[in-house]
Amino acid sequence: MPLLPSNNKLHKGKVHDPKTSKDQLPQEEYNSVTAEYLSAPAIEKPSLQWKYYEARMMDMARQGCWLIFCIFLVFCVYYILFWLFKLLLRPFLSPILFALHDCCCKKKLEEGESATWEACLEECRRKNVLTSYALNQNDKYHAAALAIAHGDDQVRKTDTKQAEL
């Protein structure tokens, strides 16, 4: 007695022959089922749908597409999880990930190794990282800083002239 139940019901009356493994659709029947489904009007398609699906699944098993299908499913699951994390779960999980990153991946400095303020400023300048919010410290806003300083000088001049009068 077999341990697993027979799957004869899945093949709609086809008998599984373990010697020859003839539970697949013959090529002629596959061609007739697909042609019948594709040429059928929309009203008759629901009655032919399961037979067509069975034929297509058997074709997929014959052609070896199942490996590509499995790879496709893996990528689908990956992108579903990726976008689920990116759009929905990131606000909730980012503090936990930050804490794990800080705890596990933190670069540990030796006790004698400490950087001075001037060394840190020099490293920031080499990497073009701003060290101040002042406009004149940023190369991109240097012209704006000069214009504002010129405007401030003009205001001071007019204030001193008005104070003299």
Question: Which residue in this structure is represented by tokens 């300048």?
Answer: 125
pLDDT value, residue 6? 46
Point out the domain boundary residue: 29, 44, 77. Answer: 77
pLDDT value, residue 24? 61
If pLDDT is split at 50, 70 and 90, which confidence band does 145 have?
confident
Most confident of 11-15, 18-22, 87-91: 87-91
135 against 82, higher pLDDT: 82
Is 87 inside any structural domain? no
| No. of helices (H) and no. of strands (E), the chain | 6, 0
Point out the domain boundary residue: 58, 77, 96. Answer: 77
Cα–Cα dist 156/163, whole Å:
10
Q: Burial letters for 5-15: b for 16+ Cβ neighbours within 10 Å, e otherwise?
A: eeeeeeeeeee
Instruction: Say what the alpha-carbon torsion angle 126, 132, 136, 142 is, to the nearest 10 degrees.
Output: 60
Is 3 inside any structural domain? yes
Q: What is the mean pLDDT of residues 116-141?
A: 84
Single pTM value for the model: 0.32
Print the domain residue range for 141: 135-165
Is 21 inside any structural domain? yes
Token pair, residue 90, equals 């990131």
> Domain count of the chain?
2
Question: Which residue in this structure is represented by tokens 């539970």?
Answer: 23
Does residue 51 surpass a pLDDT of 50?
A: yes
Phi, psi of 42 (to 5 degrees): -60, -30
Is 113 inside any structural domain? no
Is 140 inside any structural domain? yes
CA angle (26 as vertex; 25, 27 as ends), nearest 5: 115
Is 124 inside any structural domain? no
Is 100 inside any structural domain? no
Q: What is the mean pLDDT of residues 112-123?
A: 80
Is 90 inside any structural domain? no
Query: What confidence tens digit (pLDDT) does each residue in 65-98 have?
Result: 778 888 999 999 999 999 998 999 888 888 888 8
Point out the domain boundary residue: 77, 92, 108. Answer: 77
